[in-house]
C-alpha cells in the first residue's frame, strides 16, 4: 500500500443497500484516495448522479425504490449521464449480464467479489473515461485538476478538506453562474440537510483557503440565493 498516493484520486458513487458491503468497500478504496459517496436506494442514487460529478458508479441491481437496471437505463436515456457504471450483483446468469449491458452498464462483477478486483476494474473504467472529459478546471489564476484533486492559485498549491473540495469543484464547474444554497447543501448532505447554517461554516473555511491569502476574492455571496466563483466584480 506504500504506492497508494501515486494513484489518481477517483470520485465514486456506490449504490448498494447492504451497509456491510458499503463499509468493506469504503475501508478498502479510501486507502487508494477514492472519494466515495453512498446511496442505499435507486431514487437517492439517481438524485446524486444527476446533481454531482462522479468518475465511476458501482451499482447493485436489487435495490429498493428503483432497481439497478431501471436506474442505469434512466441514467443514460433521461439524465444523459455518461459516467462509467460497474454492476456489482449476485445475479450471475448470462441473461442477467446481457440485460445489464443493454441497460448501459460498462462492466459487470459478480458477488462475492475480491476488493482487489473491484479496485482494478474501477481504475480501468476511470482511465478509459479520462479522454472523454476535461480534467482541468480554471477560473482566472485558480485551477483544480479533477484527476489528481490538486488545487493551485497563482502557482501556490492549496490543500483542501474533502468537503471544501466538493464545494470548490461545483462552484468552478458552474462558474460564473450562481450556485443555489440548496444545491450545495444537497451536494454535501443529499436529502438530510443538517440543522443550523452548516453550509456557511464550510464556505467560510473554503474562503480562508482560496481567497484570504490573495488580494482579489473569487468567491462571492449572492444574498438569499447562493454563491458564485468568478473574477468578475
CATH number at residue 13: 3.40.50.2300
Is the domain of 71 the same as that of 171? no
- The predicted pLDDT at position 134 comes to 60
- Grade residue 233 by pLDDT with cuts at 50, 70 and 90: low
Is the domain of 128 the same as that of 156? no
Give the span between the Cα atoms of 58 and 143, in whole angstroms.
28
Give the span between the Cα atoms of 25 and 151, in whole angstroms.
27
Is the domain of 108 the same as that of 172? no
- Please compute Rg for the chain using Cα positions: 19
Contact between residue 88 and residue 122 where contact means Cβ atoms under 8 Å apart: no
Is the domain of 107 the same as that of 140? no
CA quadruple 166, 169, 171, 177: dihedral positive or negative? negative
| Number of domains observed in the structure of the chain | 2
Question: What is the domain extent for residue 194?
Answer: 136-229
- Grade residue 4 by pLDDT with cuts at 50, 70 and 90: very low
SS3 content of the chain, % helix, strand, coil (to 5): 45, 20, 35
Is the domain of 45 the same as that of 119? yes
The CATH number of the domain holding residue 199 is 1.10.10.10
In terms of DSSP H, where are the helices of the chain? 19-29, 42-51, 68-77, 94-103, 115-129, 162-174, 181-189, 198-210
- 130-156 burial: b if 16+ Cβ within 10 Å, else e: eeeeeeebebeebbbebeebebebeee
- Take residue 168 and report the three cell numbers written for it: 470548490
Q: What is the mean pLDDT of residues 108-123?
A: 96
Give the span between the Cα atoms of 145 and 97, in whole angstroms.
35
CA quadruple 126, 128, 145, 159: dihedral positive or negative? positive
Is the domain of 96 the same as that of 143? no
Which tens digits make up the pLDDT trace of 58-115? 999 999 999 999 999 999 988 878 899 999 999 999 999 999 999 999 999 999 999 9
Amino acid at each position: 500500500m506504500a504506492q497508494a498516493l501515486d494513484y489518481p484520486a477517483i470520485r465514486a458513487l456506490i449504490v448498494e443497500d447492504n451497509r456491510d458491503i458499503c463499509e468493506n468497500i469504503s475501508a478498502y478504496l479510501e486507502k487508494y484516495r477514492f472519494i466515495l459517496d453512498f446511496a442505499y436506494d435507486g431514487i437517492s442514487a439517481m438524485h446524486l448522479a444527476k446533481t454531482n460529478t462522479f468518475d465511476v458508479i458501482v451499482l447493485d441491481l436489487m435495490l429498493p425504490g428503483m432497481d439497478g437496471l431501471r436506474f442505469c437505463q434512466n441514467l443514460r436515456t433521461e439524465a444523459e449521464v455518461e459516467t462509467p457504471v460497474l454492476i456489482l450483483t449476485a445475479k450471475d446468469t448470462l441473461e442477467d449480464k446481457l440485460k445489464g449491458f443493454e441497460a448501459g452498464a460498462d462492466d459487470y462483477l459478480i458477488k462475492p467479489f475480491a476488493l482487489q478486483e473491484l479496485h482494478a476494474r474501477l481504475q480501468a473504467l476511470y482511465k478509459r473515461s479520462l479522454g472523454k472529459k476535461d480534467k482541468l478546471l480554471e477560473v482566472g489564476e485558480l485551477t483544480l485538476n479533477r484527476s489528481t484533486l490538486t488545487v493551485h492559485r497563482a502557482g501556490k498549491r492549496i490543500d483542501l478538506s474533502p468537503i471544501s473540495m466538493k464545494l470548490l469543484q461545483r462552484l468552478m464547474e458552474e462558474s460564473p453562474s450562481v450556485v443555489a444554497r440548496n444545491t450545495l447543501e444537497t451536494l454535501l448532505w443529499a436529502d438530510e440537510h443538517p440543522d443550523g447554517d452548516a453550509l456557511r461554516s464550510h464556505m467560510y473555511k473554503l474562503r480562508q483557503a482560496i481567497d484570504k491569502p490573495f488580494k482579489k476574492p473569487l468567491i462571492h455571496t449572492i444574498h438569499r440565493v447562493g454563491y458564485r466563483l468568478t473574477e468578475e466584480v
